[in-house]
Structure 1
Amino acid sequence: MATSTESTSDSWYTDLSSIPAYASARFLSDKIVQVASSSQDHTRNAKRTTSKTFFVKSNRSDGTFTVIASPAQDVSPEVIASAISPSGKLTAILRETNSGDKRRFVEIWEGERLEAAINVTKAHGVFYKDDQLSTLAFSPSETSLVYTAEANAPENQGDDPFSKFRFLPDYGEGYVGRKRPTLFVARWVPNAETVDVLSGGHRRTVVQGICVPKTMCNSEISFGQAQFLADDRLLATSYEYTEDGKRLGIRACFNRPTAIWELKLALEVVALEQSDTLIAISATKISDPRRASCSPRPIPGSSAVLWLSHELGGPHASCFSLHKFDLQAREATTHIPVIDKIQDDFMDGFAGLYTETFLARPFVRLGGRVYLLTRTSQCSRLEVILVDLEQPETVIQLTPAESGEDLWSWSPLATDSRKWVLASRSAPTVPNELVLGRLEEHGGRPKVTWQVIEMPSLTPRVESALRELRATVVPIQDRYPVETVLIEPKRRRGQPLMTVIHGGPHGHVPTAFNPSLAAYALQGYTLNVPNYTGSTGFGDIYVQELIGKCGSLDVEDVKATVDHLVREGKGEHGPGKQFVTGGSHGGFLTAHLIGQYPDTFSAAVLRNPVICSQPASTDIPDWYFFEFGVRPSTESEQMTPALYAQLYPSSPIAHVRNVKAPVLLLLGVEDRRVVNVQGKTFFHALRGLGKKVELLMFEGEGHALDGVEAARVGWDVTIDWFDKAV
């Protein structure tokens, strides 16, 4: 079909997905910050990470500042993770070599000098680098490091010759084969002349896996997300089994049986004994056992710690509460509660905490007070906020929606703990910008002055094309809180309307730059990207409202966005005018829409969709019950005939005979979240009914289909499929 400018079918996506997005940052001093960016390299079919160093110079006369940036440098793919010590003098690197047999090393650097190097290839398996289990933190003395890695499988023991064959579940989607996440402590003698050698019966470096005896925790659990309280004490998050021995998938699922623990360890820093195991002296659960808790952080200069808390066993994602625990008084308080509804007279219209983790160093000290810096969803935007840690229920929004800037979505990257905050921001038609903020106190209240220090380097063609697009957030009349992010050309009308539906269902589409969406718009489509009831960022009551109504309320919400935009002249009904696509629960809704409203959509593309009530083989079997109003338990997770009859009408397969639109299915071979038998079931059902349907399978891809080639091919074939139906 015609596009906004001359272009091959895949060039817009290729161009836009190649623009670097800021991934992380850290302050090396109050005037030097290091920033990592990621992008897709379509030539090498790989994800690329680069690093830049920025040098900040204040201009005292007008309050602005000048920033000088180094050239971008590729980050070695061997570097799995890195961290800076509290003093800023040391850098820890977890390294895994890619040539020949993989080897793993823990390295400690002081400037350009290698302080310690520990070959941990035989000590354990792969390093963890995810947001939910991974750890990388220095001890206060900066002579120890804690991190998470996969423990080695046990050898056959004399008393159990079959031990290595016994079933042990992994952590599901994104964690295939990850069965034994274990905290490891690496220790070294500072300023030793030699490292990683035996000397006098002792080692100058040692790595030990932390073992918490079952007698201390009454069950077999794993630990991650550790932080040092002292050289011999840790905070950590536990991950536990269900009563029937399952490890439920944890990726994007925050309602799991998790808790915050205080672990006390043996302290042997000077004389490092050769030992593979470090036995915890004590282990104490300090969070509420009735809630799922995660992301512990010690508050600097205080005896208190913070963590996030979520409803246990409820929706997989909803509004978090923030808890504060005094380690001396042994008292816990709720610092920020779950917010049911946005109220102008309560916390300045704050929608609640919707963030699953914090920055490695999330605290800012300003005017003698300590604040927590984090991100949250505020309706369809992402905002940076400060939480006052002395005044409960006090939140300062650092990025409020102001006139002309109501579409920006922000993400904090780092802080120097005093006056500087680094963040990225973007809008649906504006790629990521790097923004530096200076914090000051005015009238006892923090205030920030933001200044853009880097903008994306765009080709004239891309820059000109993006300027021709317009984005708005459109509230849907009589269906609060439903709203949609609309992306459309400024000067053209009559373009086909493509509805793109997020998954979850308790996910969220922010007003942030998304290369796929912008590329669809540049390819000649108007984009309707709804946040339906159940989406996060609008108050917890609207998350809970969807429970028991999946397949009806969410379907009606999405259809209402289509009809509203047609009434507003942003789209049309008729052949070749309406298209729909979505993945996971978005695929579930896409299948429902073409079955319940068969005359509305001209074609559909579904990515790893939920099609029918088949909880077997998924890493989140509870989803299939709880979201449809059935409280999961060991007994109810058995699919009885009566339960199947109850759930079947809510499944898209119930409407398969009504489908008229041509259907394209994109499935990941390695998907653990929605096993591809779901999509195959839909494919064969449609094929058997004589419908037009095609299926593409992606080897080596999981639920997200986010590999460089898979993402590009998925975008390409979607455009091809819809263009043929225009």
Structure 2
Amino acid sequence: KLLYVAERKTESPKASSAKIKCSMLMSNPTDVYREDWGEALSHKSVPVLCCVDLKSGSLSVLQGVPSDVSPGQAVWSMSGESVFFVGWYHEPYRLGLKFCTNLRLSEENVSVLSPRLSPDGSALVFLQGKVFGPHAQCLKMQMVTTVELIINRIIMCFVGEFAGVYEALPSCCWSEDSQRVVFSSAHKNWKVQARLKTHTGTGLRIIILTFTCVHLVNLVGFLPSDGQSVTWETLQSPLTLFIWFVYAAGLDFGAILLKPSPQSETKLPLVVFIHGKFLLNTHCIVAVNYRGSTGFGQDSILSLIGQIGQQDVKDVQFALQTDSTLDPERLAVFGGSHGGFLSCHLIGQYPDVYRACAVRNPVVNAATLLGPATSSTGNIYSRDDSLLLAREFSYERIPTAEALMKCALLLMLGGRDRRVSPHQGLELYRALKNVHVRRLLWFPEDGHSLSRVDTQTDCFLNTVLWLQEHL
């Protein structure tokens, strides 16, 4: 049998039907607004769990899910007679679910994701976090067993070589003996693979540093018996990187600097790429993981609350002062979403520093996120959850309220963006009448991620050409 999630079918009475009952129109009016689950889940409002028998081809909808709950992330029990799933309440409203998983479950202040059943069916592990607050936060790994029907916390956040769990568990994360869980997580500037003994909650080991955003290492290996080491085979050699760490207010943050080789100039142009992604063979790239980025512990993430547009901006600017071979006269910045927010802040707060900027669906008016954005509660967050304070806070964090932007600006906007209204970018574009060099790319059929193949190609080529022209 195959288990999957589908949208519940709604019966729409046809106007041409001669037998339209009044009760049908009242219970299922065609023009009533229905909330959906936001970005990348448009028109997905009431999902149901479905089961198809692969032998007979019969299809059924599983019953028993409360009508005010949307089910997802379902897994079979060992017997195949029951299902474990995560359910999200419809009330008070549906928030964007794909990118903000910190929505309330059954307990008042608890969110849950990634249920994973062990091969022998004796234990279920899942990740748990707090409701609201930063949507990319350090998570607890929890386990419930058939022997003891209690929830045991396995790990939350470790100091030293392990910086916590930040992302969903792999679909097949258990070892064959049901004693260990293997998962990946951010660890400073790297992504690591870790292994944990579930029966003791100890024995957490980082088994490999896999890659950074630009440090791709293709490896293959197999999980051995307990007590033995993993043997890894390198399929592709990594790039050589220069990495440094800086410290501020007792919290770490990191940056990765990539230089072209061989170095053709004494002073090299630099592109600041928030969190990093692509390479230019004639420019330096610095990818900054400012305080508040994942991989540096929960304290680092919480330090950004109430400080966006200030602490993160200063961290990025501070990272530029590290290498003397960088040309201060040829600086550019690139970012998307919150990275676009930082990019706009940088060219607004430091208008004489940057010569070019390229941003994708940037947040340029944090105050308006309290309205149309489907993830507004997760984006604007104050220490005491006060909406009034959040509004005051957000008006102080508007990049367009900073000094006049002078650099060449390239805007890339998705017309179907549900996380950040594209009208924010349009607002910025129209406001910058003093900027003689500006360009807007509009993708009417794409959303926040600008992830369509043709869109990605267009954005990449235009960004590279824009930076080469203005640096």
TM-score (structure 2 length as normaliser): 0.90
- The answer to whether the Cα contact below 8 Å between 1:470 and 1:490 also exists between their aligned partners in 2 is no
Q: How has the CA–CA distance of structure 1 residues 455 and 234 changed in structure 2, closer, same or farther, with 3 Å as cutoff? A: same
Q: How has the CA–CA distance of structure 1 residues 225 and 690 changed in structure 2, closer, same or farther, with 3 Å as cutoff? A: closer
Aligned match for 2:352, one of 599, 604, 609:
599
Aligned match for 1:221, one of 69, 72, 75:
69
Please tell me whether Structure 1 or Structure 2 has the larger radius of gyration of its CA atoms.
Answer: 1
Query: Which residue number in structure 2 is paired with residue 711 of structure 1?
Result: 456
Query: Which residue number in structure 2 is paired with residue 92 of structure 1?
Result: none
Residue 694 of structure 1 pairs with residue 450 of structure 2: no
- The answer to whether the Cα contact below 8 Å between 2:306 and 2:393 also exists between their aligned partners in 1 is no
Counterpart amino acid of residue 306 in structure 1: V
Counterpart amino acid of residue 471 in structure 1: L
Counterpart amino acid of residue 488 in structure 1: K
Cα deviation, 1:590-634, whole Å, max 9, x if unaligned, reads 1101111111101111110001110222111113421x54616xx
Residue 207 of structure 1 pairs with residue 59 of structure 2: yes
Counterpart amino acid of residue 593 in structure 1: L
Query: Which residue number in structure 2 is paired with residue 649 of structure 1?
Result: 396
Q: How has the CA–CA distance of structure 1 residues 624 and 386 changed in structure 2, closer, same or farther, with 3 Å as cutoff? A: closer
| 1:723 Cα offset (Å) | 2.0
Unpaired segments of 5 or more residues in structure 1?
Answer: 1-143, 191-203, 260-287, 344-348, 401-407, 410-425, 457-466, 503-508
2-side partners of 1:337 and 1:180: how far apart? 32
Aligned match for 1:663, one of 409, 416, 428:
409
Cα deviation, 1:50-88, whole Å, max 9, x if unaligned, reads xxxxxxxxxxxxxxxxxxxxxxxxxxxxxxxxxxxxxxx
Aligned match for 2:274, one of 498, 501, 505:
501
- The answer to whether the Cα contact below 8 Å between 2:415 and 2:447 also exists between their aligned partners in 1 is yes
2-side partners of 1:653 and 1:673: how far apart? 19
2-side partners of 1:429 and 1:621: how far apart? 33
Query: Which residue number in structure 2 is paired with residue 391 of structure 1?
Result: 200
Q: Does the residue aligned with 1:398 lie in a helix, a strand or coil?
A: strand
Query: Which residue number in structure 1 is paired with residue 84 of structure 2?
Result: 235
| 1:255 Cα offset (Å) | 0.9
Aligned match for 1:171, one of 34, 37, 56:
37
Query: Which residue number in structure 1 is paired with residue 16 of structure 2?
Result: none
Query: Which residue number in structure 1 is paired with residue 17 of structure 2?
Result: none
Counterpart amino acid of residue 336 in structure 2: G
Sequence identity of aligned pairs in percent?
24
2-side partners of 1:571 and 1:213: how far apart? 59
Counterpart amino acid of residue 548 in structure 1: G
Query: Which residue number in structure 1 is paired with residue 287 of structure 2?
Result: 529
Residue 334 of structure 1 pairs with residue 153 of structure 2: yes
1-side partners of 2:318 and 2:450: how far apart? 28
Q: Does the residue aligned with 2:231 lie in a helix, a strand or coil?
A: strand
| 1:253 Cα offset (Å) | 1.5
Q: Does the residue aligned with 2:252 lie in a helix, a strand or coil?
A: coil
| 1:720 Cα offset (Å) | 2.0
Q: Does the residue aligned with 1:679 lie in a helix, a strand or coil?
A: helix
Residue 315 of structure 1 pairs with residue 163 of structure 2: no
2-side partners of 1:562 and 1:305: how far apart? 46
| 1:231 Cα offset (Å) | 2.5
Query: Which residue number in structure 1 is paired with residue 173 of structure 2?
Result: 362
2-side partners of 1:440 and 1:211: how far apart? 41
Query: Which residue number in structure 1 is paired with residue 424 of structure 2?
Result: 678
Counterpart amino acid of residue 246 in structure 2: I
| 1:258 Cα offset (Å) | 3.6
Q: Does the residue aligned with 1:549 lie in a helix, a strand or coil?
A: coil
1-side partners of 2:112 and 2:201: how far apart? 19
1-side partners of 2:406 and 2:337: how far apart? 21
Query: Which residue number in structure 2 is paired with residue 473 of structure 1?
Result: 243
- The answer to whether the Cα contact below 8 Å between 1:549 and 1:629 also exists between their aligned partners in 2 is no
Counterpart amino acid of residue 410 in structure 2: L
Query: Which residue number in structure 2 is paired with residue 149 of structure 1?
Result: 6
Query: Which residue number in structure 1 is paired with residue 258 of structure 2?
Result: 487
| 1:585 Cα offset (Å) | 0.3
1-side partners of 2:125 and 2:351: how far apart? 50
Count of aligned pairs between the two proteins:
456
Q: How has the CA–CA distance of structure 1 residues 491 and 332 changed in structure 2, closer, same or farther, with 3 Å as cutoff? A: same
Q: How has the CA–CA distance of structure 1 residues 324 and 645 changed in structure 2, closer, same or farther, with 3 Å as cutoff? A: closer
Matches within 5 A, 1:173-572: 173-187=39-53, 204-212=56-64, 214=66, 220-229=68-77, 230-243=79-92, 246-258=93-105, 288-339=107-158, 342-343=159-160, 349-359=161-171, 361-365=172-176, 370-400=179-209, 408-409=210-211, 428=214, 430=216, 433-437=218-222, 439-441=224-226, 445-452=227-234, 454-455=235-236, 470-478=240-248, 480-492=251-263, 493-502=266-275, 514=277, 517-518=278-279, 520=280, 522=281, 524-564=282-322, 568-572=323-327
TM-score (structure 1 length as normaliser): 0.59
Q: How has the CA–CA distance of structure 1 residues 255 and 207 changed in structure 2, closer, same or farther, with 3 Å as cutoff? A: same
Q: How has the CA–CA distance of structure 1 residues 486 and 291 changed in structure 2, closer, same or farther, with 3 Å as cutoff? A: same
1-side partners of 2:230 and 2:316: how far apart? 38
| 1:372 Cα offset (Å) | 0.7
1-side partners of 2:201 and 2:46: how far apart? 38
| 1:438 Cα offset (Å) | 5.1
Counterpart amino acid of residue 254 in structure 1: T
2-side partners of 1:602 and 1:676: how far apart? 24
- The answer to whether the Cα contact below 8 Å between 2:418 and 2:447 also exists between their aligned partners in 1 is yes
1-side partners of 2:286 and 2:383: how far apart? 29
Counterpart amino acid of residue 184 in structure 1: C
Cα deviation, 1:680-700, whole Å, max 9, x if unaligned, reads 11111112x455322110121
- The answer to whether the Cα contact below 8 Å between 2:68 and 2:91 also exists between their aligned partners in 1 is no
Q: How has the CA–CA distance of structure 1 residues 586 and 630 changed in structure 2, closer, same or farther, with 3 Å as cutoff? A: farther
2-side partners of 1:222 and 1:399: how far apart? 37
| 1:241 Cα offset (Å) | 2.4
Counterpart amino acid of residue 418 in structure 2: R
2-side partners of 1:660 and 1:329: how far apart? 64
Query: Which residue number in structure 2 is paired with residue 579 of structure 1?
Result: 332
Query: Which residue number in structure 1 is paired with residue 25 of structure 2?
Result: 161
- The answer to whether the Cα contact below 8 Å between 1:351 and 1:539 also exists between their aligned partners in 2 is yes
Q: How has the CA–CA distance of structure 1 residues 477 and 290 changed in structure 2, closer, same or farther, with 3 Å as cutoff? A: closer
Counterpart amino acid of residue 378 in structure 2: W
- The answer to whether the Cα contact below 8 Å between 1:625 and 1:631 also exists between their aligned partners in 2 is no
Unpaired segments of 5 or more residues in structure 2?
Answer: 14-20
Query: Which residue number in structure 2 is paired with residue 405 of structure 1?
Result: none
Cα deviation, 1:315-364, whole Å, max 9, x if unaligned, reads 1111111111124532111111244xx23xxxxx32111222322x2211
Higher strand share: 1
Counterpart amino acid of residue 449 in structure 1: T
